Amino acid sequence: MDDSPCSGRVVQVNRKSPVPGERGLPKVPVGEARITRAGLDGDFNVYRHEVSHDDPRMAVLLVPIETLEEFQREGWPVRPGDLGENLTTSGIPYEAFVPGRRFRVGDAVVEISKPCTPCENLFLLPYVGNDRGPEFLRVTLGRRGWYASVVREGRVRPNDPITLVPA
C-alpha cells in the first residue's frame, strides 16, 4: 500500500433523474441519497443502463474535487457533477482510488472497480461542445473518475467521511 492519504469527505452527492432525450450529465447536487447495489437511488445514467447493462461494477462514480480543480487551473470550468460523478470527494488523491480498495462512504461501503473512460457525452457540457470535445477527452483521459461497486448499501450526505476500509 502506498502512503497516500486515505481519508477525506464527501463534498457533494450528485444525481440526475431520467428525462427523455437527456443524457446523465451534468448531475445536480442533492442533500442526501441512498447508495444501493444498483447505484444512487433516483439517478439515471443512459450509458450505464443501455450500453453497460447496469453493470454492478459501475454502480457509483467518484471524482476528487482536487481533480476538478486541476481542470479549472488548466482553463476548463468543470464543476462538481459535470463529469457525471455521483460523489465528489475531497482529501483522497485520485491515484489512491485503485481497483480492489474499499471505502466507507457515509453508511455505505464501496469497492473501486475501474477507471471511467471519457466519452463523447462530455461534448454536451456547454464549455466543451463539438469544437473542443476531442481536446477535452484527451484532458480527462486517466482523470475522469473511478467506478465502484456497492459492498454495503447505505445513506450518503455531503460532509460525510470517506475512509479506507482495511483489507
Report the 10 Å Cβ neighbour count for 27: 25
Residue 1's pLDDT is: 47
- Given a cut of 80, whether residue 31 has pLDDT beyond it is yes
CA distance 67 to 89: 10
Domain spans in the chain, listed from the N-terminal domain onward: 7-165
Q: Judge if pTM exceeds 0.75.
A: yes
Instruction: Give 5-29 pLDDT, tens digit per residue.
Output: 789 999 999 998 777 767 778 999 9
Per-residue pLDDT of 123-161, as tens digits, reads: 999 999 999 999 999 999 999 999 999 999 999 999 999
Fold assignment, 7-165: M1 Pyruvate Kinase; Domain 3 (2.40.33)
